[in-house]
């Protein structure tokens, strides 16, 4: 966690609201493999990171709530009895959505003040939104002793995103952000919401993120559209989710669906399988195999599921050409954000300087390089 940011958030809170707040750190996440599988009841392999959202929260003596977004220098005040989504409301809808979902459970809240800020660039595909939602629900749970479990809280965060932001996301981001374990990846079964933690020995390799610094429009509608394709095709075979469908079963309805949809569903079935194979590779200490599965995942996301973009493909191609990166793929929802790379430790500087130059030349835009540590999930900061 960023200590400097914490100090800034707390001093801003003291300055505006004149009381000592509770402070929460809620991390962003990365995902090793298992993309667009969570809302198909499949498996994912995320980890919480040392970057995220810091929120300061305390009860208010007024009869309204006030939330200050430190990074944007924007304040928003509202009453708890009139919580509605705001058209193009940006960050406000994440906060309001969480409050609304708490209220839907019949839980009454009293006015409060919040200051929040973060150190994950928005649009990087590192789940700043889940980190924000979790920080709010966790903070309110502590402040008002609501006795919500961590599982209750992640579902509140997820529904906030569905109902107030309009993205029908799965549970991976909220889970990883809430339940993260320092130095561990979480092999999560998105049906049972049970995870096995893995402390992975990457041997001569390290994880490296490269941010394209782009976020293409329409990514939200494309996301929801992919999700409905998956749901419609699984309904055709009366399956609860694509997790329950085999390649053979999919083949049996191939003539009834478009080639595009066939490829999308095939991708999901294959990606769920790859995620299981990744767990095996890790257990066998076979990091090269893990890397190969990561490359295959990107190829599926690019050609079958069609959620990549030129900038991401360029970075993955460069990684492949380099021979020092043994696995690379886009991460998260797609259409921009970061690639995740498994790279030879002592080649990081050479590779990053080469790829940065090439990226700049091709897109006339900078890419950013991040190295992250795996962190604990959402928690109070003393």
Q: Would you tell me which residues interact with ligand GLA (CB under 6 A)?
A: 35-36, 38-39, 127, 169-170, 172-173, 332-333
CB of 65 to ligand GLA, least distance (A): 26
In the complex with ligand GLA, the residue whose CB is nearer, 68 or 305, is 305
Closest to ligand GLA by CB, 170 vs 300, is 170
Catalytic residue check, 152: no
Q: Which residues contact 27 (CB under 8 A, 6 or more apart)?
A: 48, 49, 50, 51, 52, 131, 176, 177, 180, 375, 376, 377, 378
| Smallest gap from residue 94 Cβ to ligand GLA (A) | 12
Starting at the edge strand found earlier in the chain, the sheet holding 185-189 runs 43-44, 185-189, 194-198
In the bound state with ligand GLA, the residue whose beta carbon lies nearer, of 40 and 322, is 40
* Cβ distance to ligand GLA smaller for residue 101 or 173: 173
**Residue 247 CA: distances (Å) to CA of 83, 254, 261:** 45, 10, 13
Select 39 or 138, whichever has its Cβ closest to ligand GLA.
39
Q: In the complex, what is the shortest distance from the CB of residue 287 to ligand GLA, in angstroms, rounded to a whole number?
A: 22
CB of 301 to ligand GLA, least distance (A): 9
Of 131 and 169, which has the nearer Cβ to ligand GLA?
A: 169
Shortest Å distance, C-beta 347 to ligand GLA: 28
Output the smallest distance, CB 346 to ligand GLA, in A.
31
| Separation CA 21–CA 57 (nearest Å) | 5
Q: Which is nearer to ligand GLA, 42 or 291 (CB)?
A: 42
> Could you say which of 173, 220, 317, 346 is catalytic?
173
* Minimal distance, residue 170 CB to ligand GLA, in Å: 3
Residues recognised as catalytic? 173
């Amino acid at each position: 966690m960023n200590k400097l940011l914490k100090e800034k958030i707390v001093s801003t809170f003291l300055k505006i609201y004149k009381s000592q707040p509770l402070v929460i750190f809620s991390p962003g996440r990365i995902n090793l493999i298992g993309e667009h599988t969570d809302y198909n009841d499949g498996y994912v392999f995320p980890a919480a990171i040392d970057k995220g959202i810091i929120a300061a929260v305390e009860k208010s003596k007024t009869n309204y709530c006030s939330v200050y977004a430190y990074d944007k220098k924007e304040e928003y005040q509202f009453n708890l009895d009139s919580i509605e989504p705001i058209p193009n409301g940006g960050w406000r809808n994440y906060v309001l959505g969480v409050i609304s979902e708490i209220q839907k459970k019949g839980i009454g809240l009293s006015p409060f003040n919040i200051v929040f800020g973060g150190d994950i660039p928005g649009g990087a595909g590192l789940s700043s939104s889940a980190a924000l939602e979790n920080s709010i629900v966790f903070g309110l749970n502590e402040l008002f002793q609501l006795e919500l479990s961590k599982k209750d809280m992640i579902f509140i965060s997820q529904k906030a995103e569905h109902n107030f932001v309009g993205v029908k996301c799965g549970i991976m981001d909220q889970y990883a952000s809430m339940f993260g374990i320092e130095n561990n990846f979480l092999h999560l079964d998105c049906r049972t919401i049970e995870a096995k933690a893995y402390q992975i020995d990457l041997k001569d390799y390290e994880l490296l993120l490269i941010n394209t610094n782009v976020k293409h429009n329409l990514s939200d509608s494309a996301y929801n559209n992919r999700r409905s394709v998956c749901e419609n095709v699984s309904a055709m075979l009366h399956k609860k989710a694509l997790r329950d469908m085999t390649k053979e079963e999919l083949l049996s309805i191939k003539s009834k669906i478009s080639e595009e949809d066939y490829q999308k569903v095939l991708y999901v079935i294959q990606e769920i399988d790859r995620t299981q194979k990744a767990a095996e590779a890790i257990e066998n200490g076979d990091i090269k195999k893990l890397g190969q599965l990561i490359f295959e995942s990107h190829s599926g996301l690019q050609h079958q599921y069609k959620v990549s973009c030129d900038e991401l493909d360029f970075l993955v191609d460069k990684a492949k050409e380099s021979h020092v990166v043994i696995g690379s793929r886009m991460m998260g929802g797609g259409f921009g954000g970061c690639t995740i790379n498994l790279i030879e430790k002592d080649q990081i500087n050479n590779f990053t300087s080469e790829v940065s130059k090439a990226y700049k030349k091709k897109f006339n835009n900078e890419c950013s390089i991040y190295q992250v540590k795996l962190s604990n999930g959402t928690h109070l900061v003393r």
